[in-house]
Chain A
Amino acid sequence: ENLVESGGALVQAGGSLRLSCETSGVVFGAYWMSWVRQAPGTGLEWVADIRKDGTEAHYAASVMGRFTISRDNARNSLFLQMTSLRAEDTGVYFCVRDAVPWDTATHFNLWGQGTQVTVSS
């Protein structure tokens, strides 16, 4: 089971970025998926999640209206479209899978290695 993020880059404030997460060895379509970030010197922040069939998504208040989470179960892939980026969005972004294939969200038990997003002001 493997999650591999990509798409992180250095971008100017106000710009956009699209992160991707490819999965292998995982029954992708059975699980809620999330993005979690860690800014330098600060803690973990849950960013967004999406239901296994893509019909429901939730966002942290800090990214609401700017970020969009989506998934393609046929391609076993998760995405995060980020717009109107701010300096405080800088950090490592992790693709994360729920531990249990339930209809409701559970804890996380599978993490990617993360991709670095840097927003310059």
Chain B
Amino acid sequence: DIVLTQSPRFLAVSVGERATISCKSSQRVSRSPNHQDSLAWYQVKPGHPPKLLVYWASTRELGVPERFSGSGSGTDFTLTINGLQAEDVAMYYCLQYYSPPRAFGQGTKVEV
């Protein structure tokens, strides 16, 4: 089974600064034939279902602010929030959907 390891588990960033979250996979999650990486990022706020931010490692979901970006390939992935806003305080999770069982990372708590 694929295991996703997120770091850091807790991140405190000033408003306007950059937040960077890492997600490392125990196996490659690249799909043939176009080598798309089967990794997504979600934002979770208390009392709300998760919100999709990024899929295929770097494709931003419609309606997600441009300050959220995903990057990486193979086994190392990053979610970057450029110019953190107060409303970005939340938990963030990566998800692999390359092979069953699907799995989330442990989560990263981002605070201002």
Contacts and interface: CB of A to CB of B under 8 A. Distances in A.
A114 B97 contact: no
Contact of B50 (A58, A106, A111): A111
Interface residues of A, number: 24
B100 interface: yes
A46 B101 contact: yes
B68 interface: no
B97 A43 contact: no
Secondary structure of the B contact surface, majority rule: loop
Interface string A72-91: 00000000000000000000
A103 interface: no
A46 B49 contact: no
A112 B93 contact: no
Contact of B61 (A49, A58, A109, A113): A109
Contact of B104 (A44, A59, A105): A44
Contacts of A112: 49
Contacts of A107: 38, 40, 52, 55-56, 95, 97
A21 to B, nearest CB: 13
Contacts of A9: none
Nearest to B100: A58
Contact of B91 (A34, A43, A58): A43
A10 interface: no
Interface of A: 34, 36, 38, 43-46, 49, 58-61, 94, 99, 104-109, 111-114
Interface of B: 1, 31, 38, 40, 42, 44, 49-50, 52, 55-56, 61, 91, 93, 95, 97, 100-107
